[in-house]
Structure formats: C-alpha cells, structure tokens
C-alpha cells in the first residue's frame, strides 16, 4: 500500500512546506493536529488520487477573518 495523502504547512507568505505523506486521512489529520500543538498555523492535506484539499487552521490566521455560517 502506498501513501495517498500529502501534508503541508502553509507559511504567512503563502509558501508551503511538505511535512510528509501518509496512507490514511484520519492519521494525516492526527499528525497535523499534533504538529499544530507545537507550531500553530495553517495546514493542508491533499488527496493524491483526487486532488481534493482540506485546509486546517490552528491558533493563527494568515489572512483576514472569514465568516463562518
């Protein structure tokens, strides 16, 4: 079995840092949550097969606040 999800940290200037790959979405989410405890900020999980992206923000915002409905 091969890695299906790539994990990234998004910096303030918009650049991204690849954190690694993992096979399971829930494990990717857990890895990012654990990383964000030490380094709050914006993160993304990208599905290699579909290209679908999940953007997560922990404790800090890089841009203006968003309206949540």
pLDDT digits over 43-52, tens only? 999 999 999 9
- The two three-digit tokens of residue 26, written as one number: 């829930």
CA dist 59 and 21 (Å) reads 23
pLDDT band at 69 (very low <50, low <70, confident <90, very high): very low
CA dist 9 and 68 (Å) reads 22
pTM for the whole structure:
0.78
**Per-residue pLDDT at 2:** 74
pLDDT digits over 4-42, tens only? 999 999 988 888 999 999 999 999 999 999 999 999 999
**Per-residue pLDDT at 62:** 53
């Amino acid at each position: 079995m091969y890695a299906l999800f790539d994990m990234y940290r998004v910096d303030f200037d918009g650049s991204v840092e690849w954190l690694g790959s993992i096979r399971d979405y829930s494990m990717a989410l857990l890895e990012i949550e654990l990383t964000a405890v030490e380094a709050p900020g914006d993160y993304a999980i990208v599905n290699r097969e579909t290209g679908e992206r999940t953007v997560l923000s922990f404790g800090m915002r890089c841009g203006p606040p968003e309206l949540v409905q």
